[in-house]
Amino acid sequence: MSARHPQQSFASLLHEHRRIVFKVAGLYSRSAADRDDLAQEISTQLWRSFDRYDPARAKFSTWMYRIALNVAISQARRWRDADRFEPLAAHHLETVGGGEPIAEQDDRLTALYAFIGQLDPLNRALILLYLEDKGYPEIAEILGISETNVATKISRIKQKLRGQMVAAETTAARA
């Protein structure tokens, strides 16, 4: 990180890792407008915290996920408390992935996103990081929980997902 030009360093790092902001904002928002507002709030909080970022302690992406998820989870709680929160629905599929539309939406992908949308904010963050191929140590560091807790929660989420997918396939086969 350049001490002489922190704004340039921040802009460069933010640009390089911008998909993190869009993924988190897309997963925790209900509409394109909410996603844009949340992405802006995440970016603002990243800038406010940038002077405390220490590259010796964490990769930038790890630090960025931690800030982005904390902001998103706080916002999701405010929306829920204001009775504005709704589960992830089909229209959210367009926003997850950095604002790039998903070309094909098969039934299993739609069911996966519906399942993720039903999770509480912490478990939603956990599964997002797992699906991003983050290792348990990095997930634990980002979320501030133990690796054992990460492994246990992921196992429970996967088990619950399997059950829901089997139930959905059974229902579809009967129809």
Report the residue count for the chain.
175
Contact (Cβ atoms closer than 8 angstroms) between residue 75 and residue 41: yes
**123-139: average pLDDT:** 91
pLDDT at 39 (0 to 100): 94
CA-to-CA distance for 96 and 25, rounded, in angstroms? Answer: 8
Tell me the pLDDT tens digit for each residue of 26-68: 888 878 888 899 999 999 999 999 999 999 998 999 999 999 9
pLDDT at 4 (0 to 100): 46
pLDDT at 87 (0 to 100): 52
pLDDT at 5 (0 to 100): 63
Phi then psi for residue 3, to 5 deg, are -70, -30
User: What is the number of alpha carbons within 13 Å of residue 89 lying toward its C-beta?
Assistant: 7
**77-93: average pLDDT:** 55
Q: Which pLDDT band, with edges at 50, 70 and 90, does 104 fall under?
A: very low
pLDDT at 79 (0 to 100): 66
Contact (Cβ atoms closer than 8 angstroms) between residue 14 and residue 68: no
